[in-house]
Amino acid sequence: MKFKVGDKVRIRPDLNYIHSSGNLVVVEDMIESRGEVDTIAVVTLDYNGRAEYRLEGHRLIWNDNMLIPASEPVKVMDRADELIKKEFNVAWIDKIALPTATETKEMVERVRQEIFKFTNAFPKEEKKLKFTFYVKEGTRPDKKCNGLIPTMTTTVVDASGKKATVTCDKVDYSERQGVLEAIAQMACGGNFDKEYDKAVKKNKLIELHDRTCTYCGKVFDTVEELKAHEAWHVERKKARRERYLLRKRAKEIAFEEQAQKMAKEMMGEQK
């Protein structure tokens, strides 16, 4: 197994039909994707134990012969040989040679342009930004004087392509504040004010709950007052429990004394 899940790979720039293997055949869609960088998403084995790969950005199945590590330098010579074979119908070639006298200037220029495009087709990979933004000037109606007020509209686009937009008057514009507000709109599905009001209401309910007595439901101005009141409830409950136990014990003693008295009277009558 040449690659594993998560590896960055490049589809061979010189991919052709000779790189087919087993039950996997190079098709036209694969050839059109030559040179593209992608990531291994799934690795499986065929019935002969040969590795097969699925890429994140391509729906086809690939094998070890069709892919190379993304870090491997691109061999421009292979692509150049292929272009020269195609343009000049050369059966084989060892290196890039100067055109012969029978080849026209137009054909030579086409080959040079293709080679130039290929050598610049793979720029250095840049780390994707979490978001980018752009600003656009505009106007809005001024109802006071039937005129127009200049505005600035900030649009933020995240890595997935999701957008959010906010607009303010040009005199109040701040680039950083505009980006922050646009990101807030994006996080709240384009309705930050509604979500903010809901969060404020929820926080007020939580804060009100923190100042409400759990025993009697009374609301206090501060948490300290609430704690003192709840401590009073606890002490009061303990005192009531103690009084209940005392009354219960007094009844038990009275019952025992009454029973002893009745027993003595019955013994006296028997004598």
Q: If you compute the radius of gyration of the chain from its CA atoms, what whole number of angstroms results?
A: 42
- Report phi then psi at 204, rounded to 5: -65, -40
135 within 8 A of 175, measured Cβ to Cβ: yes
- What are the backbone angles phi and psi of residue 125, rounded to the nearest 5°? -70, 130
| More confidently predicted of 188 and 117 | 188
Handedness of CA 18, 21, 23, 26 (dihedral sign): negative
Question: How high is the pLDDT of residue 77?
Answer: 45
Question: Does residue 74 or residue 213 have the better pLDDT?
Answer: 213
Quote the tokens at residue 234.
């606890």
pLDDT level of residue 239 (50, 70, 90 thresholds): very high
Residue 91: per-residue pLDDT: 44
Average pLDDT of the residues in 52-59: 87
170, 137 contact by CB (below 8 A): yes
Q: What is the pTM of this model?
A: 0.38
- Residue 175 CA, distance from chain mean position: 25
Quick check: 80 pLDDT over 80?
no
- pLDDT value of residue 242: 92
Contacts 24+ apart (CB under 8 A), 188-195: 190/164
Cα separation, 206 vs 216, in Å, equals 18
Closest CA to 231 of 213, 245, 218: 213
